[in-house]
Structure 1
Amino acid sequence: MHSIVAKFFGTNGIRGVFDEDFTLEFVHDMTLAIGTYFGKGPVLIGYDGRESSPIICKVVSSALNSIGIDCNVAGLVPTPCLEYAVKSLGYSGGLMITASHNPPQYNGIKPCAKDGVEISREDELIIEDIYLQKNWLKKSDSWGITRTENTAIETYLKGIISHVDSTLIESKHFKVVLDLGNGAQAVSAPNFCELLGCETFLVNPNIDGTFPGRGSEPTPQNLSELSKTVKEHNADVGIAFDGDGDRSIFCDNNGDILTGDKSALVLTQHILKKNPNSLVVTCLNSGSNIEVLAKQFESKVIRTKVGSVEVSRKMVPTNALIGFEENGGYMYGKHNQVRDGCMTLALMLDLLATSEKPLANSINSLPPSFTTKDKISCPPEKIPKLISLLKEEYPNSDTSDGIKISIDLKNWVMIRPSGTEPIVRVYAEAESQEKLDTLMSEYLEKVSSIISR
């Protein structure tokens, strides 16, 4: 189905280094293509805290106006806030200006369809075709107009709160540590916690597009400040968001940072208890315990290629209740079929309010799982050889997305090229920590040696 490889769209939107491959001229022409694909306005525009974002926003809005499309600017908002506002306020599409967790010199564009979900892989190719043929809409009789949209954040937070037991959460007066990572959730997550009566402690609270605190991507290695703050204040939970606020990594009450897989399992268990016979969508690189868990609640799991677009776009037609990625991207279908850091925090508070036990205890009662991931620099031209040599050595592997080499259900390694930077990612799961370490070092060595040939 996706035999044609997108030229500009990566795993998640279009990204590049601002003023190098991601120039204002490129932004202008690509926006004309996206506007032509939308066909009509109004289009909602939002952006993250990167230094180039406000300038790009002006180019985007004027390009849309030049082909007769009206747009409203929501300003600085998290990606899931823009997506939810598109769906609930009746826009014909949305454009989020962000490079998510990429380093500060990057920026990008993420289009979202009128249903509030990222556009499909097929639609990305349609937009690229319009861009390459330059056959965009001709200007209609009148220019489009740009206005502002002031209700996006309020609409978003009201939407989230409607899905949890807010009265019960308020009665608990939870202590929550938010590591905002100098990113876009700073405009919404603290207000959200305040609305639910939480006592909140902030880490890296100021929006800053250079991400001076810990970088824009929350990883177990850079969240020591979050962990320390949770322990210092004896908090119930800590959470770290990425640059555009759609992903979230949790820290339990003991100060232990949880993998995306672990927090996804504990949240899924909480949601499936209330909603048995549901559907969960996740990628090929998530741990195997999700099947074990779903079975306990008569629920099913569908696996997709890696990438939030793949998960989101599978959730829509199947009407799945839950979707997740191992990197902390969690999707709650009743709210919107997209990754949403603040919705995920709401679900976690709902879990804590109903379970009556500390988060660490809930995590410890999950079936044990040992997963890890790493990355290796790799020029894109070496990828085909790497995958084909591994395929020769392991002919029974799944090659629908990179290569997944399964020893058995509990022990596997997956190697795939990143869709956003010149690296390959290596994921693994094993039945014990010892076996995981051995498996991982064996394959990191193997992959490195093939790349260096």
Structure 2
Amino acid sequence: MAKFFGTNGIRGVFSEDFTLEFVHDMTLAIGTYFGKGPILIGFDGRDSSPVISKVVSSTLNSIGIDCNVAGIVPTPCLEFAVKTLGYSGGIMITASHNPPQYNGIKPAAKDGVEISREDELIIENIYMEKKWLISKNWGITGKEDRAIQTYLKGIISQIDSKLVESRNLKVVLDLGNGAQAVSAPEFCKMMNCEIFLVNSNIDGSFPGRGSEPTPQNLSELSNTVIENNADVGIAFDGDGDRSIFCDNNGNILTGDKSALLLTHHILQKNPNSLVVTCLNSGSNIETVAEKFHSKVIRTKVGSVEVSRKMVPTNALIGFEENGGFMYGKHNQVRDGCMTLALMLELLASSKKSLSDEIALLPSSFTTKDKISCSPDKVSKLISTLKEEFPSSDITDGIKITIDSKNWVMVRPSGTEPIVRIYAEAESQEKLDTLMSEYLKKVSCIISR
């Protein structure tokens, strides 16, 4: 088991368990793992990110590794630039959707995809044994000014951009005071869209609605869509790799629902393809894939699990239920702006509104919630549920399946001291009942 790497990179509260001393030593381990440069460094808009970037770059230089700093960029922008511009690897400084006091490090391999779970353990072993790379020469730090334009050109090359431009779509962007502020508005301008901005200034304290887009905090996005008769709205998380959509009627879509819609759109043009998703995604993806003679592979929860399964299988699509969508032709990583591009292409090629397109999907009722839970109580929680439901899947946390359309999954977060509860049911009434029952059950077990 990894000690420092969680579901998605290393994260902690800055100056508490994520100190500059820790960043220095962990960077030595990451640099030793990469072995050579140049390494591309990027960061999100958190207040602590610039100083962490300086520690990372100077530490790499101290073991003879050259690096370039791209500045504030979305995580998928850094990853695409690593792959496209010929870097040996990348280090993204971000805590994604975590609260402002957090920060973190996310390494990307030279193929532009997050490093594997096995490589995370290699880095941790180097860190624990302190077997750093030693060099007589100092590396140098430069600037990388090509990352954003390289990223946007890459996205545009994957869609029918002329068709999108011809439609003059109205788009509301809730940038969440996060890193997509440097790229998503520019992309929409390039696509001849009329844009309306919400929470558009980069601010590490995320004053607008917090760093994670949820149905509960996207009322301003919804209202702005309705007020401006927009075709679509989208909200990004702190580092811009996830996206939650709002339809033309102001309804916020779950990540599962938007993924179903985009998968349908992509598989129409690319039948006989492969889709990768996690155990906690809704069951309708199999129905959609089967329609286009395509297959679905399920993984443990986490973008690393999905991304690293997509690479060797050459999967076309990957997604998580949280709004993380991956388009293999571009890069096998979550990418908020690439996802927006695909949605705009869908709308441009359709004679229907987004809400009408959604109405054509097989009905699904999914939800999730979370409960505070200290790490020392997790094993007791899972084992207690396993005793009650012995036939359950314990590949990742525990998934209790009632039947193909009704299930509950409980698993510890890899980024925060909480457990997440996911559920799917055949109706909204059944879903509400199921979720209420398991929230009480989990709370009861934790409090014993």
TM-score (norm 2): 1.00
Quick one: which of 2, 5, 10 aligns to 1:6? 2
Quick one: which of 408, 411, 418 aligns to 2:406? 411
Offset of 1:20 from its aligned partner?
Answer: 0.6
Partner of 2:55: 59
Offset of 1:356 from its aligned partner?
Answer: 1.6
Find the aligned partners of 1:262 and 1:319 in 2 and give their Cα distance.
24
Find the aligned partners of 2:288 and 2:389 in 1 and give their Cα distance.
29
Find the aligned partners of 2:211 and 2:372 in 1 and give their Cα distance.
19
Query: How much identity, in percent, do the aligned residues show?
Result: 82
AA partner of residue 156 (structure 1): Y
Length, aligned pairs only: 448
Find the aligned partners of 2:56 and 2:378 in 1 and give their Cα distance.
34
The correspondence of residues 299-310 of structure 1 with structure 2, limited to 5 A, is: 299-310=294-305
Find the aligned partners of 1:60 and 1:307 in 2 and give their Cα distance.
25
2:309 is aligned with 1:314: yes
Offset of 1:379 from its aligned partner?
Answer: 1.1
Partner of 1:96: 92
After superposition, what is the alpha-carbon deviation per residue over 1:248-267, rounded to whole angstroms, capped at 9, x for unaligned? 00000000000000000000
Q: Which runs of 5+ in 2 are unaligned?
A: none
The correspondence of residues 393-432 of structure 1 with structure 2, limited to 5 A, is: 393-432=388-427
Quick one: which of 129, 136, 139 aligns to 1:144? 139
Partner of 2:24: 28
Quick one: which of 331, 352, 355 aligns to 2:347? 352
Find the aligned partners of 2:25 and 2:443 in 1 and give their Cα distance.
39
Partner of 1:337: 332
Offset of 1:239 from its aligned partner?
Answer: 0.2
2:210 is aligned with 1:230: no
Quick one: which of 291, 295, 300 aligns to 2:290? 295
3-state secondary structure, aligned to 2:195: strand
AA partner of residue 64 (structure 2): G
Quick one: which of 279, 284, 289 aligns to 2:274? 279
Quick one: which of 14, 18, 22 aligns to 2:14? 18
The correspondence of residues 370-389 of structure 1 with structure 2, limited to 5 A, is: 370-389=365-384
AA partner of residue 148 (structure 1): K
2:153 is aligned with 1:175: no
Find the aligned partners of 1:250 and 1:17 in 2 and give their Cα distance.
29
Q: Which runs of 5+ in 1 are unaligned?
A: none
AA partner of residue 264 (structure 1): A
After superposition, what is the alpha-carbon deviation per residue over 1:17-76, rounded to whole angstroms, capped at 9, x for unaligned? 111110111000100000000000000000000000000000000000000000000000
3-state secondary structure, aligned to 1:240: strand
Find the aligned partners of 2:44 and 2:371 in 1 and give their Cα distance.
28
Partner of 2:212: 217
Find the aligned partners of 1:388 and 1:105 in 2 and give their Cα distance.
32
AA partner of residue 105 (structure 1): Q
Find the aligned partners of 1:100 and 1:109 in 2 and give their Cα distance.
10
Find the aligned partners of 2:398 and 2:21 in 1 and give their Cα distance.
37
TM-score (norm 1): 0.99
Quick one: which of 197, 203, 206 aligns to 1:202? 197
Offset of 1:389 from its aligned partner?
Answer: 1.0
Partner of 2:154: 159
2:163 is aligned with 1:185: no
Find the aligned partners of 1:421 and 1:164 in 2 and give their Cα distance.
36
AA partner of residue 375 (structure 1): K
2:116 is aligned with 1:120: yes
Offset of 1:7 from its aligned partner?
Answer: 0.5
3-state secondary structure, aligned to 2:87: coil
AA partner of residue 39 (structure 1): G
Partner of 2:40: 44
3-state secondary structure, aligned to 1:150: coil
After superposition, what is the alpha-carbon deviation per residue over 1:225-273, rounded to whole angstroms, capped at 9, x for unaligned? 0000000000000000000000000000000000000000000000000
Find the aligned partners of 2:441 and 2:376 in 1 and give their Cα distance.
18
AA partner of residue 325 (structure 1): E
2:386 is aligned with 1:391: yes
Find the aligned partners of 1:385 and 1:43 in 2 and give their Cα distance.
42
Partner of 2:65: 69
AA partner of residue 221 (structure 1): Q
Find the aligned partners of 2:48 and 2:446 in 1 and give their Cα distance.
35
Offset of 1:434 from its aligned partner?
Answer: 0.5
Q: After the TM superposition, which segments of 4 or more aligned residues of structure 1 sit over 3 Å from their partners?
A: none
AA partner of residue 10 (structure 1): G
Partner of 2:322: 327
Offset of 1:184 from its aligned partner?
Answer: 0.2
